[in-house]
Amino acid sequence: MNLPKVISDLVKAQDNFDSTRYANCFTETAVVFDEGRTYNGKREIKNWIEKANKEYQVTMKPLEYSEGEQTLKAEISGSFPGSPLVLSYKFGFKDKKIQSLRIVQ
């Protein structure tokens, strides 16, 4: 599967539970929407993923990517109820970084 470099970097950071590398995939003003919550800016994104990593140890397995819709479907596994799940990650990009991310089931 041919993923944009920034998404490949995001998946690698997630699988290594590296919240700093994960946050560095985003612009300074990025916004993430996940489970009804909004995270604004790299600092909030880093704190959010760091907490999730400690709590759930989530790993990602990319299943398909739609370049036109800028959407990644991935199977996520971890120590959470219902694992594994397939989620959709809808991206918005700016200057080869992630400007927005909406995660939905």
Cβ distance 91 to 71 under 8 Å? yes
Please give the model's pTM, rounded to 2 decimal places. 0.94
Domain count, the chain: 1
Low-confidence stretches of the chain (pLDDT < 50) are none
Q: Cα-flanking dihedrals φ and ψ of residue 44, to 5°?
A: -65, -40
Per-residue pLDDT, 1: 84
| pLDDT tens string 16-39 | 999 999 999 999 999 999 999 999
Q: Which domain holds residue 86?
A: 5-104
CATH of the domain at 78: 3.10.450.50
Here the contacts of 45-54 (C-beta below 8 Å, separation 24 or greater) are 46/19, 46/20, 46/22, 47/19, 49/14, 49/19, 49/22, 49/23, 50/19, 53/17, 53/19
